[in-house]
Amino acid sequence: MAAGKARGENRTYQVFCRDVLQTLSSHGGFVPYEGDGIDVPFDMGGTTWTLDVALKDSEGNIVVAEC
């Protein structure tokens, strides 16, 4: 498994947080930014940051969560 990828109980918690955000969204729902929305890599000026949860709304606004 690649660096920055959660496994076991930690991944289960990330999935739970993603599901809560999707359920409580008042903007018509969030969808995964990439893949399943868990452990999403972002290139920040040449450094890759892996964020626990990354979602987007229908307008392309991004919501991230670190669990």
Q: H helices within 1-67, ranges in order?
A: 8-24
Return the pLDDT at 15: 95
- Which position has the token pair 């920055």? 4
Q: Is residue 48 part of a domain?
A: yes
- The reply to whether 2 falls in a domain is no
Domain contains 1? no
What domain range is 58 assigned to?
A: 8-65
Could you tell me if residue 49 is inside a domain? yes
Question: Is pLDDT of 23 > 70?
Answer: yes
**What is the count of structural domains for the chain?**
1
Distance CA 44, CA 22 (A): 25
- Average pLDDT, stretch 46-57? 95
Per the prediction, the chain carries an average pLDDT of 90
Closest CA to 61 of 26, 16, 12: 26
